[in-house]
Structure 1
Amino acid sequence: MTLNYLRSTNYDSLEKRARTTVALFSTTTKDAILSYDLASLESFVNEVLKNPDLSYARVLGPNNEVFAEGGNIEALNRVFQQDTKVELVQDGVFDVAADIQEFGVLYGRVEIGIETDSITRVIAEAEKRSFSIAGIEMILVALFSFALGTYLTRQLKVLVSATKDIADGKLDITIPVKGTDELAAVSVAFNAMIEHLKEASERRDLFELKLQELNQSLEDRVEQRTKIINDKNNKLEQVNKQIKETQAKLLQSDKMASVGVLAAGVAHEINNPMSFVISNMKTLDDYFRDIQQLIAAYEQITHSDLTNLQTQLEVIEKLKKDIDLESILNDLPVLITDTIEGTGRVKDIVKGLKEVSYNDDRNAYTLCNINECITNTLKVADNELKYHCKVVTDLRDIPDIYCAQNQIKQVLLNLIINASHAIKDKGKIEIRSQATNNHIKIQIKDNGCGISKEQMSKIFDPFYTTKPVGEGTGLGLSISYGIIKEHNGDITLNSQVGKGTIFTILLPLNTERAKEV
């Protein structure tokens, strides 16, 4: 344990020193890199190499070009590979690096290496001395134990014999006390224990007598207790009813919070089709006016005599060319089709929002398909995802099950939005579904920032959130957990910081109507 502590403290100290040095080095060289001041960078490299055990230091540009370097030539010539733990170092140098960024733009990187040979020698020497001391101590302890054990065994036989007598119910024994050592003290304590046992036996007989008396009045007490319990049960039923009403309100509040997250994007999503619908309608209005002129020209033919017929036909031909009738006739079907498609998109978006925000009955279990729930939820969340998330779905054939459809959609929406928020720039969300072991299994995986072990233990707690103040209520995952549990299912997660998170939902494969919650 001492050696492990020595190793861990020295290794931790070296790691902290390395990271602190590289962080200070990156801060010191930042302005020089931004201004390409190579002379200052050479000076900074020479200055940092004054640190003890520092093997080399190097400053790189944004394209890995060397701005300045110094120290051990052999270490500088090998390929840089950043180390994470001192105990994993094989080349005798602990390598660390730090990026130099400004407003998210990478301008360069600094690399340093600290020699680990001195720490390794100290720990090796400590191990050698510790094993020597431990061997001597073991020999001394063995000799002392043998001598002490021989003495103690004789005295303990008397105590063992007395213990057997007590186990047989004999409480009128006394152990002789010899000397003033610890065994003598044990003997005195043993005799005192025997006296206490005698007193305890007498008290037990007295308690048994009182217990018989108490049993006679037990029925009256039970009846009183039963009345109290019934009163408390009635109060609990009222409290439970209030809790369910509060849960229903929280459920609806969480739905509206999800809708609020999507509101700005939905407005933009509706504006796009509506913009070209309005534009198409204006164009159709212009076309309608041109066609009205052409129809009016044809109507004049019916009211003119034959002498002016040729003139009217020439006027009509000229009007056709002026309004470009052929282009109008070719363009009309396209305009009408685009307009119908745009209004259909608006209708789908509004329908999806209505389904998400609708406050349905908590007992409204219907037969539905989970794949359709996933597809409809993705339509609603599309604008939240499409600009920085690639969504990949693997929805296999699964049977319909009885569930509260809108509640399941709310759980899916919460998990998809959380996955989107975990991805800072560009990322991918994978959604899978399959039937397995009498369950419907749904997995939502992202390659976002991930969740630490400390956070995972509290992630389903009410009002706990990892988001900044004002961006999360801490209710989404708690409510989702409650919904899945009410469906007799389970929801779990697996996450690694920096790699991503996988939420797994299991729902019972109940294809027949069961007792609803």
Structure 2
Amino acid sequence: MSLRLKTILGIAIIQAVLLLILASITLEYLRTTNYDSLSKRASTTATLFATTTADAVLSYDLASLSAFVDEVMKNPDLVYARVLGPGNQVFAEGGDAAILSRPFKQDIDVEHVDDTIFDTYAEISEGGEVYGRVEVGIDINSLTKAIEAATTESATVAAVGMLFVAVFSSMLGTYLTSQLKSLSAAAKSIAKGNLAIKVPFKGRDEISHVAYAFNAMAANLKEVSLRRDQFEAELQELNRSLEDRVQQRTQELEKANHEIKDAQTKLIQSEKMASIGVLSAGVAHEINNPLGFVISNLSTLDIYAKNYRKLVAEYQRLQEIDDPAERDAQLQVIADLTESSDLEFMNDDLDDLLKDTHEGSIRVKEIVKGLKAFSHADQTGRMQLADINECITSTLTVANNELKYHCELSTALGDLPQTYCLPSKIKQVLLNIILNAGHAIEGQGHIDISSQVIGDYIEIRIKDDGCGIAEDEISKLFDPFYTTKQVGEGTGLGLAISYGIIVDEHNGDINVQSEEGKGTCFTLLLPIVTEQLGTGDATVAV
């Protein structure tokens, strides 16, 4: 495809998209505004008509009702009006007889009207008691035709605009390609090895500057080509001997690097799954609790649904009965069914059932989401923009059942900027330290977790009032396989892995303060990283 054609098509496509978007927005606004206006007008007309006729309906003043109907029919586009008394008895009506003879069906919005008439009603009530209603219908033909005309005009304007764009694009493409033909021919000549080429140019525009630079490039290429031929022969022999050694060494380094990364990933994932294993029984209990009352609520909702279906069926049967005696009998059936099913209690209880069921489902979802985040093995090594406070809260969701029976958790999370990090690994560090804090507490205790911005760093503090750590053991905490737990209760890798994640992978720091018998405080420092540079790299905020 030529540059000229690309220029024409590119500009035309951009202009077409802009025209289509503009036309669509304009037409949608026109349609929505007019539909809303007509809907509001119909509702207002019906309400005012109901208010006007209320006294006449209550006093059965049919003459006044007929006059009111004649008066309201003076409204433009109003095709009928009807006043109904108790038992849907017609007190007065006016307008198109054919339309008045059809069954009344209320229209919710203008867009879905299928008979060109927007039908609506308003109830006539006094002291909370409904004594009748008014029904009106508004013809929407004029509105529909206006919108269709606007659509046609928009299409015409768009077509004319596209024509002008095509002509302009063609002229611009012709101008550009005529200037570039000589450059194209020269480039092909250089590609064939003719480095003595020179492009003629005139003027001072950008293409002339390109032609000047092209000639300078051709001259430099000719000089470089001669020098390259001299060095090429010397380098070929040297490269031949070096290539084999470099390739062999590179393969060895790549293999060793891959093995180290693979072993590190497996080690981190193994420690992560060990933490998940410690939490599994508690997590199962956490999921079973909300699932239990969700299932119970669904059973109750099933009973309520059946009662509602019965009531709806009886009301539908009532609408089909015209005889007053039969209607009274059917109303009694409905009243008995309402009392037997305790409709008032069902209505009051329904919102609570749905709210509890929704909250239980969300609780299960959050627990499963947290487990998935922790169990996922992230092998990409690529930093992601993340909220550290969200890492803390999702970690507490997973660890909650392990801690809640003997630890009181309190959080004071400050307003933190998002930062590039490895969220799954940050959560693993938090989980290791929080679980260690819980294990250090015998009986009942407290764990305080806080976050704040300190200069260019995010500080996370995890403090417990557990058994504490002896001073001579603090320096060994981050050594691999060192643990203060009983044999079989810990691998001794959790804090070593945490140190590598925070210090080595995130350029942060971990500090420990502890006093035996009083508790321990871990402080994590993460640099605030605002720009992603590449795999594992980022720019620290200044």
Q: Structure 2 length normalisation: TM-score?
A: 0.50
Distance of 1:367 and 1:303 partners within structure 2: 63
- Equivalent residue for 2:37? none
Paired residues of 2:509 and 2:524 also in contact (CA < 8 A): yes
Match among 471, 489, 492 for residue 489 of structure 2: 471
- Equivalent residue for 1:425? 443
Equivalent residue of 2:530, what SS?
coil
- 1:292 equivalent in alignment to 2:319: no
Distance of 2:511 and 2:249 partners within structure 1: 35
Match among 258, 266, 282 for residue 265 of structure 1: 282
Deviation at 1:242, TM superposition (A): 1.0
Paired residues of 2:382 and 2:534 also in contact (CA < 8 A): no
- Equivalent residue for 1:309? 327
- 1:392 equivalent in alignment to 2:426: no
Match among 449, 457, 462 for residue 475 of structure 2: 457
- Equivalent residue for 1:252? 269
Match among 363, 370, 381 for residue 388 of structure 2: 370
Deviation at 1:437, TM superposition (A): 4.0
- Equivalent residue for 1:491? 510
Matched AA of 1:292: R
Query: What CA deviation, in whole Å up to 9, does each residue of 1:29-74 have, x standing for no partner?
Result: xxxxxxxxxxxxxxxxxxxxxxxxxxxxxxxxxxxxxxxxxxxxxx
- Equivalent residue for 2:426? 408
Change (3 A) 1:431 1:320: same
Alignment of 1:54-65 (within 5 A): none
Distance of 2:352 and 2:272 partners within structure 1: 39
Deviation at 1:403, TM superposition (A): 1.1
Deviation at 1:500, TM superposition (A): 0.8
Deviation at 1:228, TM superposition (A): 11
- Equivalent residue for 1:509? 528
Change (3 A) 1:313 1:234: closer
Deviation at 1:432, TM superposition (A): 2.2
- 1:382 equivalent in alignment to 2:400: yes
Alignment of 1:164-313 (within 5 A): 235=252, 238-301=255-318, 306-313=324-331
Mind listing any 5+ residue stretches in structure 1 that lack a counterpart?
1-226
Deviation at 1:514, TM superposition (A): 4.4
Query: What CA deviation, in whole Å up to 9, does each residue of 1:388-445 have, x standing for no partner?
Result: 2122222223332221111111111111111111111111111222222432222211
Change (3 A) 1:439 1:288: closer
Deviation at 1:375, TM superposition (A): 2.0
Change (3 A) 1:429 1:514: farther
Distance of 1:437 and 1:332 partners within structure 2: 51
Distance of 1:291 and 1:507 partners within structure 2: 57
Deviation at 1:238, TM superposition (A): 3.0
Paired residues of 2:265 and 2:379 also in contact (CA < 8 A): no
Distance of 1:402 and 1:341 partners within structure 2: 32
Matched AA of 1:331: D
Distance of 1:282 and 1:372 partners within structure 2: 35
- Equivalent residue for 1:356? 374
RMSD of aligned Cα (Å): 2.5
Match among 320, 341, 354 for residue 323 of structure 1: 341
Please identify, of 292-301 and 230-239, the stretch whose mean Cα deviation from structure 2 is larger.
Answer: 230-239
Equivalent residue of 1:425, what SS?
coil
Change (3 A) 1:308 1:370: closer
- Equivalent residue for 1:448? 466
Matched AA of 1:351: K
Query: What CA deviation, in whole Å up to 9, does each residue of 1:109-151 have, x standing for no partner?
Result: xxxxxxxxxxxxxxxxxxxxxxxxxxxxxxxxxxxxxxxxxxx
Distance of 2:360 and 2:306 partners within structure 1: 24
Query: What CA deviation, in whole Å up to 9, does each residue of 1:281-339 have, x standing for no partner?
Result: 11111112222333343344456655443333222222211111111122112211221
Distance of 2:290 and 2:381 partners within structure 1: 37
Identity fraction in percent: 55
Change (3 A) 1:312 1:449: same
Distance of 1:300 and 1:331 partners within structure 2: 27
Change (3 A) 1:413 1:299: same
Please identify, of 232-241 and 292-301, the stretch whose mean Cα deviation from structure 2 is larger.
Answer: 232-241
Distance of 2:388 and 2:441 partners within structure 1: 25
Distance of 1:421 and 1:405 partners within structure 2: 24
Change (3 A) 1:233 1:480: same
Q: Structure 1 length normalisation: TM-score?
A: 0.52
Aligned pair count reads: 291
Matched AA of 1:310: D
Paired residues of 1:399 and 1:511 also in contact (CA < 8 A): no
- Equivalent residue for 1:434? 452
Deviation at 1:499, TM superposition (A): 0.8
Change (3 A) 1:289 1:510: closer
Matched AA of 1:433: S
Matched AA of 2:255: Q
Equivalent residue of 2:396, what SS?
helix
Paired residues of 2:459 and 2:524 also in contact (CA < 8 A): yes
